Amino acid sequence: MEAAKPTPEHEWLKQLLGDWTMTGECDMGPGMPQAKTTGTEHARALGELFVVGEGTGEIPGGGSGTMLMTLGYDDAKKKFVGSWAGSMMTGMFFYEGELDAAKKVLTLNTQGPSFKGDGTTARYQDVITIISPDERTLHSQTPGPDGQWKRFMTATYKRVKK
């Protein structure tokens, strides 16, 4: 079997490589103030086809955590694919998503553990937006009671080095 060749989508992922600092805000629930958080991320290539980002940071509500995100592009599905796991929970998120026409916004759909803590799962989106070569955002959202996506977390990443 011949090894897969990188596509323009794989090339797009390379702009995520490097060392980053992160500042973020997280919705802590009705009537509660936004929690502020900071952290770092190191994103490296896994061959020519995947990016692996390992982050560390404060967890809203106290403590620190480590997160691992993988992203690639599946030629057969014609979708970006990946996963996210964090040291603060036992569940894992698996992504499937698409890049917008302007090639600035990658929307990753997933289903994972509900933040209600009741053992159920919920739908989520993690959305990566490229602001410039040295800045990007990641926001997470879930459908609200009206079915519209409601943002609950926003993180801004600034490049430290490539």
| CATH number where 111 lies | 2.40.128.20
**Cα radius of gyration rounded to whole Å, the chain:** 16
Q: Is residue 3 part of a domain?
A: no
Q: What integer best gives the mean pLDDT of the chain? A: 93
Q: Is 100 contained in some domain?
A: yes
Question: Domain for residue 69, yes or no?
Answer: yes
pTM of the model: 0.93
Q: What is the pLDDT of residues 69-100, one digit of tens each?
A: 999 999 999 999 999 999 988 889 999 999 99
Identify whether 76 is part of a domain: yes
Q: Let me know: does 79 contact 97? Beta carbons within 8 Å.
A: yes
Average pLDDT over residues 101-124: 90
Number of structural domains (the chain) is 1
Q: Please name the amino acid found at residue 96.
A: E
Within-domain flag for 30: no
What type of residue sits at position 34? Q
Q: Is residue 68 part of a domain?
A: yes
Q: What is the pLDDT of residues 115-127, one digit of tens each?
A: 777 888 899 999 9
pLDDT in tens, 40-50: 999 999 999 99
SS3 52: strand
What's the CA gap between 25 and 154, in Å, rounded?
A: 5
Residue 61 domain boundaries: 8-25+36-161
Q: Which two tokens stand for residue 66?
A: 């480590």
Q: Does 45 reside within a domain?
A: yes
| 46 falls within a domain | yes
